[in-house]
A and B are shown apart, each in its own frame.
Chain A
Amino acid sequence: MYILKNACLSIIRNKGRNILIGIIIVIIACACSVTLAIRSSAKNLITSYENQYDISATLEVNRDSLMKNFNPSSEDKEQGRKDMIDQFNNIESLTIENIENYSDSDYLKNYYYTNSINVNSSTINKATSEITDNEENRKRPDNMQMPDNNISQADFTLTGYSSYEAMNDFITGSYTISEGSIDNDFSSNSCVINSELATLNNINVGDTITMTNPDDESKTYQLVVSGIFTENNSDSENSMNMFSKSANTIITNANFINNIISNDNSVKYNITPTFIIKDKDSISNFESELKEKGLSEYLTLRTNLDEVEGATSSISNLSTFATTFLIVTFAIGAVILFVINMINVRERKYEIGVLRTIGMKKSALTTQFIIELLIITIIGLLIGSLIGALISVPTANMLLKNEIEASQNNMENVNKNFGGKMFDGNNQGRPDLQNRNGINGIVNVKQVDSIEAVVDFGVLLKLLGIGILLTLISSIASMISIQRFSPLTILKERS
């Protein structure tokens, strides 16, 4: 107890020396609290952002795998090309059973899918600018993404969604319901249709439309229109067309299409799954699991990890910068404190000599010196963290602003490299570049542009840890000196 009392008296009575040490600790604590707050907030922000934007994955054709057998320098180049096309056409289409099998995984949070078939109709006309509507002019309304061997050509695409989450066009705002609603019963026979198709055929909400199997007109499917949607996006590819791209798309639920498929094995369908992966560490595990479950070598898992990470890249950079700054501050702080403490001990040699002469043990004396420094450190840390708390938010946002500007400049530079028209802000650039890390990802997922750096309890605990570590490091000087000094020598020198 007397050691603590003596330490406190020493601090109070030697203000000048201790204020100097205190100021240095305040500066170190301030810098550390700002960097710790930024680091901690950046980490939280990245985690919450990654939670907010699920890591989703879908299956797509593995073009690299297809291309690797093609040798452009071989003599029979045409044959090689045909073989490659055969390989592509022989890729087995995904089935609902496949999707359910793949989705039964511990690495997934959820899954959903869209299921499409082509249909005709005996009661409604398709939206087309063609005057004659013969078989030859019938085109598939959309480019099918997956191999769809012998899938029938038809007027309409009937697309079924397994859940609301699967309806990405509605989530992103590409489609909006202008009349009626989407039925929340995902096993009903309701549908929503494009407003252009509705106008063209005078269809209202509540009307029933009849679709037919393009290969067998006798097979009909009745759908009740529960809503009418409008397509908001007009992409450059479709801008000169009379009707929007989705004009001939009829949207229903996946169960309705599953029933059609299960009742008629001849119906060709195209299924696109979306897997919601638990976290980024689970991606490779899930990929391995898919291979074990027999996923074709020509199909591959594609995730939106780049987009999600790209949106937080500025924050990650800031966090890395903060970590580096923290290490540098800590190292410099430790050196400065060590040196000051060494000078301090030399200055207090006489005191050490007197206390040792009157019988104070070396261990007690060392403890007193450490307590003194610890008290000053804690006070310095409190003041420093308070100042740090006040300046961490503007500092973080200022640094983040620089990071975002750098990121945007980088985008513009890449744009210029491609002739200046590559990225037009509507994510309509070259398809082969659309998913490159940090380019269109920034457009797809909202860029983080502010940070709430908070000096919370966790930060204070870390600061305390840093403080204790700094105290111990800088106390080494006093410990060594106390062990080394002979009290008689000190007092003789003094005399």
Chain B
Amino acid sequence: MIMAILKLDNVCYRYKDALNDDYVFKNISYEFELNKTYAIKGKSGSGKTTLLSLISGLEKCVEGNIYYEDNNLKDMNLDKYRSTNIGIVFQSFNLLPHLTALENVILSMDINKIYKKEKKERAYKLLESVGIDKEKANRRVLKLSGGEQQRVAIARSLSYNPKVILADEPTGNLDKDTENDILNIFKKLAKEENKCIIIVTHSDNVAKNVDEVFELAKKE
């Protein structure tokens, strides 16, 4: 039996200033496994990004629990969890513009303190694995295209070798060809690197290309 890396157990969320029964979503239970790609689909306002924030430890659920390798997130140091176990890729890349692609990846390595030596070589390799060559790696990220920036964001999310990659509309700002390139990277990561990839998306193309789709219904 394959053990779930992430488990959602009756997760509910409402905003702090919302009424008691005004939930964004209620009683969500789901399990995510390694070696698979997942798409979380749903209409605008269904709480896709909020769910991703809960899984990444950026937000805390109001009711229910989220488990990472059977450890309740409520009992974990979320800064450490984010910098070790979870890689996050955003629609708007969220790279540091004053740094080069290489420096963005190395900074992420520095923060999680996993690698002490050969960081530069590892960063180059990671960037190369997502299609960024050395010349581009040494450019400031603002001098890269959207697709290239997203590749850098993926490389950064992989820099400390997390088991789970969360991607929030990672192809939302990209053209179709680039979207396919990025999807291929994710699939490769799941199959070859034994990662669990969770993608929040609107795109049917993305939904078609993943192993499982979890649809969030908009509340009535």
- Residues on A lying within 8 angstroms of B by beta carbon are 2, 5-6, 9-10, 13-14, 350-351, 353-362, 364, 486-488, 491, 494-495
Contact = CB atoms under 8 A, between A and B. Distances in A.
Contacts of B83: 358-360
B80 interface: yes
Contacts of A13: 98-99
Interface in B78-119: 79-84, 88, 90-92, 94-96, 98-99, 103, 107-108, 110-112
Given A353-B94, A357-B94, A358-B88, A487 B107 contact: no
B59 interface: yes
Given A488-B58, A495-B92, A357 B111 contact: no
Contact of A491 (B82, B90, B103): B90
Given A2-B107, A9-B103, A357-B82, A491 B98 contact: no
Interface residues of B, number: 26
Contacts of B90: 357, 491, 495
Contacts of B156: 358
Main secondary structure of the interface of B (DSSP, over half): helix
B93 to A, nearest CB: 9
Contacts of A355: 96, 111
24 contacts: A2-B111, A13-B99, A350-B94, A351-B96, A354-B95, A354-B96, A355-B96, A357-B56, A357-B58, A357-B88, A357-B90, A358-B108, A359-B81, A359-B82, A359-B111, A359-B112, A360-B79, A360-B111, A361-B79, A362-B79, A486-B58, A488-B58, A494-B92, A495-B92
Contacts of A351: 96
Contact of B110 (A2, A353, A354): A2
B82 A358 contact: yes
A488 B59 contact: yes
Contacts of A10: 98
B10 interface: no
A353 B97 CA distance: 13
Contact of B94 (A5, A6, A354, A361): A354
Contacts of A353: 94
A354 to B, nearest CB: 5
A487 B79 CA distance: 11
Counting chain A CB atoms within 10 Å of each CB, the highest count among B90, B92, B111, B112 belongs to B111
B178 interface: no
Nearest to A1: B110
Contacts of B194: none
Given A2-B107, A10-B98, A488-B59, A495 B91 contact: yes
A359 B103 contact: no
B186 to A, nearest CB: 19
Contacts of B84: 359
B35 interface: no
A356 B78 CA distance: 11
A185 B80 CA distance: 88
Which 10 pairs from chain A and chain B are nearest by CB?
A359-B83, A2-B110, A13-B98, A359-B82, A488-B58, A354-B94, A360-B111, A361-B79, A495-B92, A358-B108
A193 to B, nearest CB: 90
A9 B103 CA distance: 10
B102 to A, nearest CB: 12
Interface in B26-71: 53, 56, 58-59
A2 B114 CA distance: 13
A361 to B, nearest CB: 5
Contacts of B53: 488
B82 A6 contact: no
Nearest to A351: B96
A358 B111 CA distance: 8
Contacts of A494: 92, 94
A494 B90 CA distance: 11
Nearest to B157: A358
A10 B88 CA distance: 23
Contacts of A14: 98
A89 B14 CA distance: 102
A400 to B, nearest CB: 48
Nearest to A356: B79
A118 B53 CA distance: 108
A430 to B, nearest CB: 76
Contacts of B91: 495
B173 to A, nearest CB: 10
Counting chain A CB atoms within 10 Å of each CB, the highest count among B91, B94, B112 belongs to B94
A157 to B, nearest CB: 89
A382 to B, nearest CB: 24
Nearest to A357: B88
A488 B217 CA distance: 23
